[in-house]
Chains A and B, each alone.
Chain A
Amino acid sequence: MIKMLRGMTWGEATAAGLLLAVIVLATATSCAVGYQRPLTVKEQTYQAGGVLLGLGQELEYAARAGLVKGETLNTLILAYDAAQQLYRKAANLAIGGTAAEAAKARSELLQTVDRLRRDLVAAGIKGASP
């Protein structure tokens, strides 16, 4: 993201900032409207999967654009792969496991997704935090 911003003019950066602000606002509104209660464990698991998919796609973009290479890229890919396998496990438990099993797997998934997000930020390729 920083590399990208360095290549922008002030006009481009302003336009990009405004665009992102509108999108973030729309996303926040979409999430807020209709939610009068906390998400269930099942919903949190699904939502974490959606965030993970976005991170994976951003990692894919960064890899294709050559923004990240070598050992760093390999490590991030393996981390994403492990996280998506963890989603499968958490999803299965959310559907058919006990409440305790589902909650434990959900927590593990949330931590893993958050760790991957921080790793992407550290690698300089994470630009948004949905």
Chain B
Amino acid sequence: MSVTTIAALSALIGVLLQATEAANRIKLAAEEGRELTPQEFADLGDQLEATAQRLRAFLPPAGTG
């Protein structure tokens, strides 16, 4: 396989793993007889924000778009 193919597959696997990670955390909380904690929600929010920050680097500087 080419490097591009492997990188693309890695990205696809990443999507599935994130969904699985969230599902596993939900399952774990349910098995432990508790609700998801505010910290778990905050941690996911931080990961979402970090991804948004990296993506914003691709945006053109203000006023040049």
Contacts and interface: CB of A to CB of B under 8 A. Distances in A.
A contact face: mostly helix, strand, loop, or mixed: helix
A49 B8 contact: no
B27 A34 contact: yes
Interface string B3-46: 01101111111111111111111110011000110101110110
Given A58-B14, A65-B7, A49 B26 contact: no
Contacts, number: 159
A49 B16 contact: no
Interface string A50-74: 1111111111111101000000011
Chain B contact patch, size range: 35 or more
Contacts of B2: 7
B23 A88 contact: no
Contacts of A98: none
Interface in A7-40: 7-8, 12, 15-16, 19-20, 23-24, 26-27, 30-31, 33-35, 39-40
A43 B26 contact: yes
Contact of A57 (B5, B18, B27): B18
Interface of A: 1, 4, 7-8, 12, 15-16, 19-20, 23-24, 26-27, 30-31, 33-35, 39-40, 42-43, 45-47, 49-63, 65, 73-74, 77-78, 80-81, 84, 87-88, 91, 94-95, 127-128, 130
19 contacts: A4-B5, A4-B8, A7-B2, A8-B1, A23-B13, A35-B30, A43-B26, A46-B25, A46-B40, A47-B22, A50-B19, A50-B44, A57-B14, A60-B51, A65-B7, A77-B59, A81-B56, A88-B48, A95-B38
